[in-house]
Chain A
């Protein structure tokens, strides 16, 4: 067969170029505008601190520079917050890893047979509908108030988006692709690894980004309830509140927020690395 080279390369190249150009053009919109909003929010906070609040009530919202000064520039205070944050991070990530493992297996099992999905999916939904806070004391009651119980809380918080999105991804495989593999007599295991999992990956990542945030929340909730062992960031936040250490309270809140953002950004980056070359969702 002969080539359509001219038409083809003309078609293949500009697509890449325009996206890059658009990206450059939108740096201002992507970063400048959100930063402007951040500046406005900080400005408003200073306004509340110095204008709205009387001096003796200023501890309710300390100015940002003092928060940074006390919480992050003071080595002892900084280490205290970072150590607690690290403990929380470990718990959140162990919980997330377990969720990914269990959730994926759960989804693959449900995708393999309609009757299994019918019998199991309602319970996945129920799991999502249960207010987690109601279960937290029970987990402590059953598993003690340490690492295990905290991890379990994270798993409960984060498993549903993994199950739901993985299942959705597995089920949205095109029938034509299934026929293709059937025609070549592919075994179920091969279909799973070469078709189903790659096809589901973009949805899995969507779930993962939601779950990662949920797992961090679970870890902090777990911290706050289970007051034994080395303190996580949740305990620390509550401790600072009770001692009216306002600057450190805000510092700890900022640190835990950053954790959530970093985790989300990490999975967005990972998703772009792994599926961005072919799927639009990975390029967000």
Chain B
């Protein structure tokens, strides 16, 4: 294996080139991943548990370092939505959303404007002074997304953000995220366990194999945005889900 080259800034977007990640104990989490996410692309990653899907995001955000190949991304344009909403429980919705501006040292007026914009955009107007423990799981995820929006991200990383939600909240958030993507045209890398969610949201679904994580199949999703929630029940949607499901199953046995 060649020595890892450092992460380099590109314009906007995210590129993995022959990226590999091996833990010190010799476990290979990822090997030879080639993947580019351009602005306006929404790429979902599905795969069995422990296949390194989340590792992909942690490498992209430099929370962990790759051991071979290259990861190119502009870290200042990066936003990461975790599995958990990771809100600070002692801060109100407004102060949670404003955290990134605060850490960046933005001025008060500028912060207030960005925060209000983001809160309005995720549909939490009127909840600015609530605390996280007063919100439902879906609303907390919305706060988490709003917090990311305040830094105008060019690249959005999602780590199974809606996995813990009930089906109805999840669909609602999917609809809203899809609309947001259509509006903002950022580059999105979305990790999920739900094939239907992946197909509904994405421009392309990437299927990964179990350990070590490799890309098995890439399925372009042809539906135009904005997408009607009803496409979930179309025949073409079912075919795409079936194809992804088959690729997943094919390598698991």
Contact A1 B121 (CB under 8 A): yes
A18 CB contacts on chain B under 8 angstroms: none
Q: How many of chain B's residues touch chain A, expressed as a range?
A: 35 or more
Query: Cα distance A180–B99 when bound, in Å?
Result: 10
Report if B107 contacts A (CB, 8 A): no
A-contacting 9-mer, from B6-14, B83-91, B235-243? B83-91
Segment from B172-180, B190-198, B211-219 that makes contact with A: B172-180
The reply to whether A12 and B130 form a contact with Cβ atoms under 8 Å apart is yes
14 contacts between A and B (CB under 8 A): A1-B122, A2-B176, A4-B169, A4-B172, A174-B84, A176-B82, A176-B86, A179-B63, A181-B103, A182-B63, A185-B103, A194-B103, A277-B131, A278-B133
**Which chain B positions have C-beta within 8 A of A180?**
82, 86, 99
Q: Are A1 and B131 in contact (CB under 8 A)?
A: no
Residues of A within 8 A of B104 (CB): 184
Question: How far in angstroms is the closest Cβ of chain B from A169?
Answer: 12
Q: Is there contact, CB below 8 Å, between B136 and A183?
A: no
Q: Which 8 A-B pairs have the closest CB atoms?
A: A1-B176, A3-B123, A1-B123, A176-B86, A184-B103, A278-B90, A278-B89, A1-B122
Nearest chain B residue, comparing its CB with the CB of A191: B103
Mask: chain A, 1-18; 1 = CB below 8 Å from B; 0 = not: 111110111011001100
Known: A1-B121, A181-B103. A8 touches B127 (CB 8 A): yes
Q: Is A148 interfacial (CB 8 A cutoff)?
A: no
Residues on B with C-beta less than 8 A from A3 are 123-125
Cβ contacts under 8 Å, B24 to chain A: none
Contact among B78, B84, B139 for A183, CB-based, below 8 A: B78
Question: Shortest Cβ distance from A279 into chain B, in angstroms?
Answer: 7
Q: Does A146 contact B (CB under 8 A)?
A: no
Cα distance A1–B173 in the bound complex, in angstroms: 8
Residues in chain A near residue B103, CB distance under 8 A: 181, 184-186, 190, 194
> Measured between C-beta atoms, what is the minimum distance from A60 to chain B in Å?
52
Per-position binary interface string of chain B over residues 59-81, scored 1 when its CB falls under 8 Å from any chain A CB and 0 otherwise: 00101000000000001001010
Contacting pair B176 A15 (CB below 8 A): no
Cβ contacts under 8 Å, A255 to chain B? none
Quick check: B124 and A183 within 8 Å, CB to CB? Answer: no
Residues of A within 8 A of B125 (CB): 3
Given the known A-B contacts A1-B121, A181-B103, A278-B131, are A7 and B136 also in contact in the complex, defined by CB atoms under 8 Å? yes
Q: How far is the CA of A126 from the CA of B84 in the complex (A)?
A: 39
Residues of B within 8 A of A277 (CB): 90, 131
**Interface size classification for chain A:** 20 to 34
Q: Which residues of B sit under 8 angstroms from A12, Cβ to Cβ?
A: 127, 130, 134-135
Interface residues of A in 161-199 (CB under 8 A from B): 174, 176-177, 179-186, 190, 194-195, 198-199
Residues of chain A contacted by B131 (CB below 8 angstroms): 277-278
Is the pair A5, B90 in contact by a Cβ cutoff of 8 Å?
no
B63 nearest CB neighbor, chain A only: A179
Chain A residues with CB under 8 A of B136: 4, 7-8, 11
Interface residues of B in 108-136 (CB under 8 A from A): 121-127, 130-136
Within 8 Å of chain A (Cβ to Cβ): is B100? Answer: yes
The listed residue with most A CB atoms (<10 A of its CB), out of B100, B134, B138, is B134
Query: Which residue of B78, B123, B135 is within 8 Å of A2 (Cβ)?
Result: B123
> A124 at interface (Cβ–Cβ under 8 A)?
no
Question: Whole-angstrom distance between the alpha carbons of A177 and B80 in the complex?
Answer: 12
What is the bound-complex CA distance between A279 and B130, given in angstroms?
14
A1: which of B82, B130, B142 is its contact (CB, 8 Å)?
B142
- Tell whether, in the assembled complex, residue A15 and residue B88 are in contact, meaning their CB atoms are under 8 Å apart: no
Q: A4-B123, A4-B139 are in contact. List 18 more A-B contacts (CB 8 A).
A: A3-B124, A3-B125, A4-B138, A4-B169, A4-B172, A5-B126, A12-B135, A15-B134, A180-B86, A183-B63, A183-B78, A184-B103, A185-B75, A186-B103, A198-B88, A199-B88, A199-B90, A279-B89
